Structures are given as structure tokens and as C-alpha cells.
Chains A and B, each alone.
Chain A
């Protein structure tokens, strides 16, 4: 009797393990798996680390509310090393071994262009956050790609509208890093401004290498050209180094300083608690203090509470990416049918921290580029986000529809490539 009892106990235990295993397998199959790639090292490391934190915040928010259609979100993170060849390997491994439902991420446009090819071949949807090259949504467009942050065309178009109305800005000088991003951000702006103003003139241009440590000779050359406005397409630490070195030359008293794509990133405001001049005209893809909505304030406060720091603009892009995927799965009722997902995702309209009152970001079917409002501001004294002592203010807001390329322009660009 005792013996039989033990036997039964053993059988019961085995059965229990089997059932538990099954339950776990069922749960695993039900998870929505996102394969994310962000740089963890080097100059873009801050953007990658912030993106990961923000994506986790979004995931936890969604899962705490019971997930999407009863399914939990699970994100796998890997270092993109900001390297296209390496990222292709990671993306392929995500698809074949980890069986991810979506690819997400990347800061560098070069990596974005590589990963979008993997997405196209394998029909796995790739949600782009932060990387900004317009090529991904125009000439290199493929249907399984979506981007949930502004591209360089949008910030350049808003910048041209801003500059158009400032009559004294006639003589322009441009300095930027000598690679695709630096040039493209400038060329889009200059082309669009030229359509609206006939009296502007380029008095000089300089293209130092990316991450140049010493701008002194450039600064003296810029001063001698006496422009009304200096456009810079630097990002990250290059802006900081340039400003620090230009300060003793009083460059900012002699001309306006205009960096409309990456210059308003919080990491720069934070990097110069002393000495940052007033009246620099800057923007970024997300701002801590604009729009003044409950959603934006909560996003910033939550990020700060969980990580101990304020987010650079990449964070909000990754946060948007996870919500975009969740919304797509909710509407399509599946995470496994890419074509069904594309059909609903290209019409998604949702509210993000960077959306002002009365506006919701939305996806455009023609290029799978998110359409968003852009705000350009000036540095003003503001200590609400320490250690920064200057934040952006005196905002000018540009409507989402005014800063996107028209359908005809996109089709023309795509045709030009096919020829």
C-alpha cells in the first residue's frame, strides 16, 4: 500500500511537470517577441542605452495592463555595435533562432539601411527608431519597414519654414561633419529654403571630419566670412566642442547659431551647465519641456525615476516603437501574419509624448514614415531640468503636414533611382 502510494506520488509529480512544461510552452508561444538592436558603446552609446531603457518602460507599461490581446511583450536586446555587417548577423539570428515577430531599433542610418534588407528578404517587420536618413522611406523603401521618428527631411523642412520668416538671415555659412548625415541634413534645408527665399546667399562651407576634436581654425575662418547665420549639422559631442571653442571668440554675439536636427538634444544642454549662450536656435526629435502635456511630463518623470537621468531624444523614439508594435498587433489580431500587420500598421494613429494637444502622430501609407509636429526653439535660462541651466523656449511650431515631402516628390525620387 505504501509502495503503491509512492508510485502514485511519482506519477503525479511527473504529470505535474509535464503539464507545467506545456503551460510554459503555450505561454512562450503566445509572447510577442521583439528583436531590438541598439549601439551600447562609442559616441552613440548614450542613445542606445536610453533607447533600451525607454523600450523596457513601454514594455512594462503594456504588460502591466495585461499585454496585447492577452499576449505579453518580450524584447530581446543586442548591441548593434553601430556596425552594418554585424547588425545583419544579429537580425538574421533573431529571425532564424529566436523566432522574433518584429525587428526594432538602430541609431545609425547605415545600420538601418542594412537591416531593412534583411527585413525585406524575410518578410519580418522592422520598426525604425531614431535613425533619420530619408533614403529609408523614399528610394530604399520596402513595405515591411516603418519609421516612428522624424527623418532629416522633416526637420530640414521645418527649419526652412523657420528661416524663411527671418528677414535678416541672408548670408549663410554651414559647417558640419563630412559624411552622409551632415551633408543631407544641410542640402534638404538649403534646397527648400531656396524655393521660398531668393535673397539668401551661401558665403562659405566647411566639412571637418566627424568627431574632430579641434575647431579653432574653422572658427576663425567662419568669423572672417561674417555670415548672418551659422548652420551646423553636428550632433552629440561635436556641438559641445564647437560651442566651447567658439565662446572666447564671441562668435555667438556676431551671428545666429542654428542647429535644427540634433542641436537641441538634452545631452548637450546638460553637458554645458555653464557657458551655454542664450538665443541659440535649436531643435531635436523630442524635447523634455515641450509639448507641455501630461503624457510628456509623465514619460520624462518615469524615465528619470527609473534610470536616474533625463532621456536624450532617442528614448522617446524607442518608446514609440514598442507602442506602435503593440497597436499593430492589437488591430491586426495577430503578430504572425506580416502582410495583415502591414495593412493595419500603415494606418496607425496614436498619441505619443511628443504630440501636442489636439494632435496624434500617424503613419503615412506611401512611405511608412510617421508624421509629426516639429518644434524649434531658442536657448533660454531655465533650471527645471538640472544640471542644465538653459533649456529651449520661445517655440515656433510647424504643422506635421507642412513638413513632409509630397506623394509626387516621393514617387519622383523612387523613379529616379529605378532608372
Chain B
């Protein structure tokens, strides 16, 4: 087993981890601040992928402009969902049950909406020409586009850290997350903040879908596969913990990558095995203390 091979596998795992992180970060942010487990989060990934297709392949917008539009579009859809639907069930008796029903039904609705607009055939968009090839570092090959995905993932992680830690908005979010009523009585516009968080998180989902579109399958139902992976990531990292999502994604990405190298027949097992171990020995998640957004 030579070093080049291990390096290639590590980079592959890192790329997977960053794709997972972009979806899982939004999922965990919504849980941490809005206190909703958004099963439909994968559907915003799906919307992001189709919006990017519409912008880049149909309307002929440039690739990165298309990615930006797709993220904004998914975020706008998220704000609408929060404002018109989720807002009606906050604080109801048995809210958790309503959350599951409502967010789950949005998976089905958005899947069908996508099918009605774009049909069932597989859609494709091309990468920017400059990113189509790969780098060679010695004998290790790394696709250029993967490097971009990693950089975007790290940039989002840093940007979110700065937003949560260093801005007034972030301080309000932390306040809402630890005590919504208290934050409200101290003058924080809680409903507005919740809508904004929901929009931000779904925009991240859309961003992930948009940058995945050139390297994955754009098809109705694609949101469901990513939500399962992201769920595992947030459970490992700690539900509602932003850094937990990053750590969880790195753990799952790398464990799966090296697992495949040594035991490819068992590929499906690894992420579930890690989740089971975490649930047994640290059921609150690897990074979970008490506060949600940290």
C-alpha cells in the first residue's frame, strides 16, 4: 500500500466530506436555531441542481452566475416554505409530529413539481472548461473541480463561523437558539431571524445541489439520497451543532474512503457502523455540549 494511493484516497474522501458538509450544515443550522428537523432539506439540494440547470444549460447564464442564482432561488423557496407553512406549527402541542408530516410532505411535493417542470430524463450541465481536467501531484490525480468543491466547503465553514461569532445577527441567533422567548423579550425580531436562517440554510442546500450538478445525476429523487447521508453526518456531529456537521462529514467521508480501499464489498456498512458506535458511546454526538449553535 503506497503513499500515493493513500493520498489519493484521502483527497477523494475530503471531496465527499465537503459535499456532505454543505448539505448537512444547513440541516443542522435549521435544527439548532429553528428547532425543526427539516426532512425536506434534500429537496432544496434538488431545487438548486435544477435551478442551476435552468440557468446554465437553458438560459445560457455563466456557470458561477448560475450557481449563485440557484442558491438564491433555493433560499427564496426556503423562506416561502418557512413563512407560509412551518410558521403555522411553531409551538403547537405535538409540534414534532407536525414537523415530520409537513417536511416529509414537502419532499413529495417538490419532487413532483420538479418532475412536472423538467420531466424525468437526466439533466446535465457542463463544468467550466478551465475546471474540466485534473492536477497531477506526483502520481496522485486530483480533479480540478474537486479542489473547487473543497475550497467552497471550507469557505462556507469559515464564513458561517464568522457570521455566527462575529456579527450582531449571529449573536441574535445564538440567543434565539438558547432561549427563544428571552431573546424575543429583549427585542430580537425572532420571526424575521427564523425566516432568514431558514433561507440561509436552504440556500446552502441549493448551493450544494448546484455545484454537484456537473458531477452527479440531476433527476427527480436525487434529494432523497443526500438527506440520508446528511442525517448520518449530523447525528454523528451532534444535532444542531455547526462544527459537528463539519467533523461528522470529515469522519464519514474519510472512513468511507478508506473502508472502500480495504473492504470494498462492505462499502455500504461503514457510515452506519460509525453512526452506531457514536450512538452507543456518545449519543449526544461527537461535538455536542449543551448549546446548539456554537
B248 proximity list for chain A (CB < 8 A)? none
A272 to B133, CA, bound (A): 17
Bits for A201-227, please: 1 = Cβ < 8 Å to B, else 0: 000111111011110111111011000
Most chain A CB within 10 A, of B5, B12, B132, B225, is at B12
A206 and B265 form a contact (CB under 8 A): yes
Within 8 A of B (CB), among A4-42: 41-42
Q: Is the CB of A220 within 8 A of B9?
A: yes
Does B43 touch A at the CB level, under 8 Å?
A: no
Chain B's closest residue to A218 (CB) is B260
Mark the stretch among B122-130, B151-159, B179-187 that contacts chain A: B122-130
User: Is the Cβ of A41 less than 8 Å from the Cβ of B115?
Assistant: yes
Of chain A, the residue at the smallest CB distance from B125 is A274
Contact: B225 with A244, CB < 8 Å? no
Interface flag for A238 (CB, 8 Å): yes
Chain A proximity of B114: nearest CB distance (Å): 11
CB under 8 Å from chain B, chain A span 289-341: 309
Known: A207-B264, A224-B261, A274-B126. 6 other contacts (CB 8 A): A178-B268, A217-B12, A217-B13, A217-B257, A221-B9, A268-B122
Stretch of A43-51, A132-140, A375-383 contacting B (4+ beta carbons < 8 Å): A43-51
Q: Which residues of B contact A224 (CB under 8 A)?
A: 5, 8, 261
Say yes or no: is A76 at the interface (Cβ < 8 Å to chain B). Answer: no
Q: Which of A123-131, A245-253, A352-360 faces chain B?
A: A245-253
| B145 and A204 within 8 A (CB) | no
Complexed CA–CA distance, A221 and B267 (Å): 12
Within 8 A of A (CB), among B117-140: 120-124, 126, 132-134
Q: How large is the interface on B (under 10, 10 to 19, 20 to 34, 35 or more residues)?
A: 35 or more
- The answer to whether A45 and B115 touch across the interface, beta carbons within 8 angstroms, is yes
Closest 4 pairs between A and B when the two form their complex, measured CB to CB = A248-B143, A237-B217, A271-B122, A206-B264
Evaluate contact between B8 and A207: CB separation under 8 angstroms.
no
Is there an interface contact between A240 and B121, defined as CB atoms closer than 8 Å? Answer: no
Q: Which of A43, A214, A273 contacts B19 (CB 8 A)?
A: A214
Residues of B within 8 A of A238 (CB): 217
Residue of A nearest to B263 (CB): A206
Nearest opposing residue in chain A for B14, CB measure: A216
Query: B249-291: which have CB < 8 Å to A?
Result: 256-257, 260-261, 264-265, 267-268
Structural contact, A41 and B112, CB atoms closer than 8 A: yes
Give B residues with C-beta under 8 Å from A.
5, 8-9, 11-13, 15-16, 19, 111-112, 115, 120-124, 126, 132-134, 141, 143-146, 212, 214-217, 219-222, 224-226, 229, 256-257, 260-261, 264-265, 267-268
Instruction: Among B133, B145, B256, point to the contact of A217 (Cβ < 8 A).
Output: B256
* CB of A275 closer than 8 Å to a CB of B: yes
- Residue A270, interface by CB 8 Å: yes
Q: List A contacts of B257 (CB < 8 A).
A: 216-217, 220
Q: Is the CB of A213 within 8 A of B261?
A: no
Q: Which residues of A contact B (CB under 8 A)?
A: 41-43, 45-46, 49, 178, 204-209, 211-214, 216-221, 223-224, 236-238, 240-241, 244-245, 248-250, 267-268, 270-275, 309
The reply to whether B141 and A244 form a contact with Cβ atoms under 8 Å apart is: no
Q: Looking across the interface, which residue of chain A has its beta carbon closest to that of B140?
A: A220
- Rounded to whole angstroms, the CA-CA distance of A275 and B11 in the bound complex is 23
Pick the contact of B9 from A43, A217, A240 — CB < 8 Å? A217
Among candidates A219, A223, A267, A274, residue contacting B122 with C-beta atoms closer than 8 Å: A267
Check B264 against A248 for contact (C-beta < 8 Å). no
> What are 6 pairs between A and B in contact, CB < 8 Å?
A41-B115, A208-B267, A221-B264, A237-B217, A271-B124, A274-B124
Find chain B residues with CB under 8 A from A211 CB.
Answer: 221, 224-225
Q: A219-B12, A220-B12, A272-B124 are in contact. Are A237 and B219 (CB under 8 A)?
A: yes
Are A221 and B144 CB-contacts (below 8 A) given A42-B221, A214-B19, A271-B124?
no
B1 to chain A, nearest CB (A): 9
- Asked whether, in the complex, the Cβ of B123 is within 8 Å of the Cβ of A271, the reply is yes
Whether A41 contacts B111 in the complex (CB less than 8 A), given A214-B16, A216-B16, A248-B134, comes out as yes
Contact A271:B121 (CB < 8 A) given known A220-B9, A220-B12: yes
**A103–B179 Cα gap in the complex (Å)?**
60
Of chain B, the residue at the smallest CB distance from A209 is B268
When C-beta atoms are compared, the residue in chain B nearest to A268 turns out to be B122
Complex: how many Å from CA A236 to CA B215?
Answer: 15
Specify the chain B residue showing the minimal Cβ separation from A217. B257
* B222:A221 contact, CB within 8 angstroms: no
Q: CB-CB < 8 A to A273: which residues of B?
A: 124
A387 to chain B, nearest CB (A): 9
Are A241 and B216 CB-contacts (below 8 A) given A212-B225, A248-B134? yes
Q: Are B264 and A250 in contact (CB under 8 A)?
A: no
**Which chain B residues lie closer than 8 Å to A178 at the CB level?**
267-268
A213-B222 CB under 8 A given contacts A46-B121, A271-B124? yes
Docked pose: A45 CA to B120 CA in angstroms? 7
Is the pair B268, A237 in contact by a Cβ cutoff of 8 Å? no
Q: Are A217 and B260 in contact (CB under 8 A)?
A: yes
CB pair A244–B9 under 8 Å, yes or no, is no
Q: How far is the CA of A223 from the CA of B217 in the complex (A)?
A: 22
Chain B residue with Cβ nearest A308? B119
Take A213-B226, A249-B143 as given contacts and tell me if A218 and B111 are in contact as well, using a CB distance cutoff of 8 Å.
Answer: no
Q: B217 contacts A206, CB within 8 Å? A: no
Contact A248 B141 (CB under 8 A): yes
A223 to B142, CA, bound (A): 13
Specify the chain A residue showing the minimal Cβ separation from B112.
A41
Measured CA separation A267–B121 after assembly (Å)? 7
Find chain A residues with CB under 8 A from B122 CB.
236-237, 240, 267-268, 270-271
Which residue of B is nearest A42, CB measured?
Answer: B221
- With a CB–CB cut-off of 8 A, which chain A residues contact B268? 178, 207-209
C-alpha spacing A275/B62, complex, angstroms: 19
Query: Which residues from B are CB-within-8-Å of A209?
Result: 267-268
CA A319 – CA B145 in complex, angstroms?
43
With both chains docked as a complex, state the minimum distance between the C-beta of A179 and any C-beta of chain B, in angstroms.
10
Instruction: Give the complex CA separation of A397 and B192 in angstroms.
Output: 66
Q: How far is the CA of A211 from the CA of B264 in the complex (A)?
A: 17
